[in-house]
Amino acid sequence: MGEIASGLLSGERHSEWEAVERRILLASGGFSSLGIGANDAVALLLRNDPVFLEASHAVLRLGAYAVPINWHFRANEVGYVLRDCASRVLIVHSDLLPLVASAVPADVTLLQVETPAEIRRAFGVADSAACVPVGALAWNRWVEQQQPTTVPALPLAESMIYTSGTTGVPKGVRRMRPTAAQAVSMTALRTAIYGMEPGMRSIVPGPLYHSAPNSFALRAARLGGLLVLMPRFDAEEFLALVERHRISHAFMVPTMFVRLLNLPEGVRRRYDVSSLRCIVHAAAPCPIEIKRRMIEWWGPVLLEFYGGTESGPVTVCSSAEWLERPGTVGRVVANAVVKAIAEDGSEAAPGAAGELFMRIADYPDFTYQNRPEDRAAVERHGLITLGDVGYFDAAGYLYLCDRKRDMIISGGVNIYPAEIEAALHRLPGIADCAVFGIPDAEFGETVMAVLQLVEGAAFSAENVREQLRPHLAGYKIPRRIEVSATLPREDSGKIMKRALRAPYWEGTGRRI
C-alpha cells in the first residue's frame, strides 16, 4: 500500500472521507426508518473498526445516543447495559454476537458486522458470520439498502459511555444535548485539549468504547486528514505505523508508554518517529520516570489532561510545564473551576490535599442513566467530583494524590496508594505495581503491594522496604509485598485493583 494522503484506514481497508460521509448519511436514514430519533439509544458492541465511527456519527447526528459497550463484557453485562439505556438497536461484530445473543432483549434490532480480517488476526478469532442468530441483519447490506437522510444534523451530543465504576454495575453517563453555542464551545475545548489541527495524521491505538479515545476519534474524523485505527495496541506495530504513515497525533495511555519502553533499544531506534507533533495522554497516572523517558525519546510532544467522562477535560499540561513540575497534570483550562475540598468542607490551601470538585462553564450537564440519586451524590455547590484527591501548588498546578475511594485507612490515618506507587516506580527492577489496603485485625487495614518485576530482576521484600524507607513515612511502607507475572488491566490501561484486592476481603464481612 502506497502513501495515503487522507481518509480512514484500518488494516488494509481504506476509505476516503467522502465515502465515509456517504455511509453515515445512509446509516442515519436507516436508523430513522427504524424509529430512532432524539434521545433514543443505539448500542455498539464492536472492536476498533471503521463501522464504529460510521454508526456513531449516524446516530449522533439524529440527536440520539451512541452507546459503546465494552466487548470484554459477558452476556449478562451486555444485557444489563442494553436494558438500562433502552437501546433500540445493537450493532455487533459477528464473532461476538453468538456469545451475547441470549441476553439481547427481544425488541432490539440486531445489525451484525462481519468481523474484518485485521481484527480476526489481532484477536485470534474465527469468522463467525455463519453462526449469527436468525433475524440479525447484515450491516453492510442493510446500509446500502437505505435512503440517505436529508434532515439537517442536530448539535452533536457525546456518546453515552458506561463507566467501569468501582462497585456494583456500570453507570451510563448521559450528557444533555448541547445548544448550538455549547456545541461550538465543546468542540473548541476538545480540539485544543487534543492538540488537533486540520489535515493532521492521527492514530487511535486504544479501544473506542472508552471515553477519551472515543471522543478523540469522533473529532478527528470530522477534521479530515488521515485517521488510522489499530484493532489492538502492539508496541512495535505502533512504531511501524507511525513511520509508514508519518503520524502526527495520537491519544495514548501510560501503559502503552511502558510497553514501548520495554522494547529492546535496537527495535526502538529502528523506527522514525520524527513526524510526531502531539501525543495526548490521560485516563491513568503516568509514572514520572516513564514520562521523562518518553519525552527524552520523542521530544516535548506529550500533552496531558485531567478529567473524566462526567466532567470533561478540566486541566491540561504541556511537556515543558511537566518538565518544570514533574508529576503535575497541569493548570485549569479556561471556563473551568476545580477546587480541592478538605474534610471539613473548606477549600484546601495550596499544598494541602482535598477531594477535587469541578465544572466547565459551557459544558452541557449530565445525569447517570436511571440513577439520579448517584448523580446527586457527586455534586456539591454546583461542582461535581470524580472521587479524586489532589492538591494545587502555589502557581496553580494540580497534582493528583489518589482516588478517594481507593484510600487506605490504617489506624485512623489516611494513606494514598498513588504516593507509594510513585515511590515504587522509582526503584530499579520494578516494571509496574499496585498498592491497596487489605484487612488487618489491629489497624483495620494495612498496606499491600503487588509488584511486576523487570525480566531477570532479583526480588526481596525486605530490600524493597529498605529502599522505600528514605522516601516514605514508616506507616506507608507496605507490610505485605508479593510478586505477580502480570497485573490485570482494563483496556484503558488502568490496573484492575478490584481484582487484586477482592480475594483478601472475602469472608471478612466488610470491604474497608
Which of 86, 91, 71 is CA-nearest to residue 23?
A: 91
Per-residue confidence band for 501, with pLDDT thresholds at 50, 70 and 90 = confident
Q: What is the pLDDT of residue 167?
A: 41
Higher pLDDT: 14 or 459? It is 14
Q: What is the pLDDT of residue 258?
A: 86
| Cβ proximity of 36 and 62 under 8 Å | yes
Q: Which DSSP category does 48 fall into?
A: S
Which of 222, 302, 223, 213 is CA-nearest to residue 260?
A: 302
* Predicted confidence (pLDDT) per residue in 308-359, tens digit: 889 999 999 999 999 999 999 999 999 999 999 998 999 999 999 999 999 9
Higher pLDDT: 346 or 418? It is 346
Q: Which numeric CATH code is attached to 190-403?
A: 3.40.50.12780
* Predicted confidence (pLDDT) per residue in 52-62, tens digit: 999 999 999 99
Average pLDDT, the chain: 90
Architecture of domain 407-505: 2-Layer Sandwich (3.30)
Backbone CA torsion sign across 21, 25, 26, 27: positive
Q: What is the pLDDT of residue 497?
A: 86
**Does the pLDDT at position 295 exceed 80?**
yes
Q: What is the pLDDT of residue 44?
A: 98
Largest CA distance in the chain: 70
**Does the pLDDT at position 413 exceed 70?**
no
Q: Which numeric CATH code is attached to 8-154?
A: 3.40.50.980
| Cβ proximity of 357 and 383 under 8 Å | yes
Among 23-27, 82-86, 428-432, which stretch is predicted with the lowest mean pLDDT?
428-432
Per-residue confidence band for 509, with pLDDT thresholds at 50, 70 and 90 = low
Higher pLDDT: 319 or 77? It is 319
Q: What is the mean pLDDT of residues 247-273?
A: 94
Q: What is the pLDDT of residue 494?
A: 80
Among 125-129, 255-259, 271-275, 419-423, which stretch is predicted with the lowest mean pLDDT?
125-129
Q: What is the pLDDT of residue 1?
A: 56
431: left (phi over 0), alpha (psi -120 to 50) or beta: alpha
Q: What would you report as the CA-atom Rg of the chain, rounded to the nearest whole angstrom?
A: 23
Q: Which DSSP category does 177 fall into?
A: P
Which of 305, 65, 68 is CA-nearest to residue 193?
A: 305
Per-residue confidence band for 432, with pLDDT thresholds at 50, 70 and 90 = very high
pTM over cut 0.75:
yes
**Does the pLDDT at position 166 exceed 50?**
no
Per-residue confidence band for 236, with pLDDT thresholds at 50, 70 and 90 = very high
Q: What is the pLDDT of residue 25?
A: 97
Per-residue confidence band for 163, with pLDDT thresholds at 50, 70 and 90 = confident
The Cα 211–Cα 159 span in angstroms is 8
What are 118's three cell numbers? 485485521
* Predicted confidence (pLDDT) per residue in 180-208, tens digit: 889 888 888 888 899 898 889 999 999 99
> Residue 254: which residues within 8 A CB-CB, separation 6 or more?
281, 284, 285, 286, 287, 290, 291, 493
Q: What percentage of the chain exceeds 70 in pLDDT? A: 94
DSSP collapsed to 3 states, 265-303:
HHHHHHCCCCCCCEEEECCCCCCHHHHHHHHHHHCCCEE
> Residue 490: which residues within 8 A CB-CB, separation 6 or more?
164, 496
**Does the pLDDT at position 168 exceed 70?**
no
Per-residue confidence band for 255, with pLDDT thresholds at 50, 70 and 90 = confident
**Does the pLDDT at position 136 exceed 90?**
no
The winner for highest mean pLDDT among 198-202, 292-296, 397-401, 416-420 is 292-296
Per-residue confidence band for 165, with pLDDT thresholds at 50, 70 and 90 = very low
The Cα 255–Cα 286 span in angstroms is 8
Domain pair 8-154 / 190-403, same fold: yes
Q: What percentage of the chain exceeds 90 in pLDDT? A: 66
Place of cell 484493532: 231
**Does the pLDDT at position 424 exceed 70?**
yes
What are 63's three cell numbers? 440527536
Q: Which DSSP category does 475 fall into?
A: G
**Domain boundaries of the chain, sorted by first residue:** 8-154, 190-403, 407-505
| Cβ proximity of 172 and 77 under 8 Å | no
Q: Which DSSP category does 507 fall into?
A: T
Per-residue confidence band for 155, with pLDDT thresholds at 50, 70 and 90 = confident
* Predicted confidence (pLDDT) per residue in 364-403, tens digit: 999 999 999 989 999 999 999 998 899 999 999 999 886 6
* Angle of helix 417-425 versus helix 288-298 axis, rounded to 10: 50
